[in-house]
Amino acid sequence: MTYRIKNWNENFEKAQGRRCARMTWVAIPNKHDGKGFRRIARHDSATDLFAAWILIIEVASKMPTRGTLADEDGALSAEDLADMTGFPAAIFHLAFTVLTQPEIGWIERLAMSPLGVGS
């Protein structure tokens, strides 16, 4: 399964970032009154979810296709994210489950291979 941050270009790509071949920072919206954010804030594992979300954004900003959790080796798993960030795989498993739910919708599941073949 390949995951992509929904609306990456609209929310996380800014003019300065578009000029960078390799990102060393990422712009993060600071909207705290949206439905998705408030639903996450009420979740029993809100802190883990939000930490995972920020780490996912940071990793996604450095991918060959920004916003898509796949590198030259293929789709990134929760375990890959744990290896890359030093945080537990469990928070990324939780994030993939919760953040893909329609009522939050911050992450999309892609019905394609990591190399873009398929639909």
Cα of 43 vs its chain's centroid, Å: 18
pLDDT at 17 over 60: no
Paired strand residues for 2: 110
User: Which pLDDT band, with edges at 50, 70 and 90, does 54 fall under?
Assistant: very high
Question: pTM for the complete prediction?
Answer: 0.84
Q: What is the pLDDT of residue 30?
A: 79
Distance CA(88)–CA(24), nearest Å, equals: 23
% of the chain with per-residue pLDDT over 70 = 83
Q: What residues have CB less than 8 Å from 89, skipping those under 6 apart?
A: 77, 78, 79, 81, 82
26 against 45, higher pLDDT: 45
Distance CA(73)–CA(98), nearest Å, equals: 25
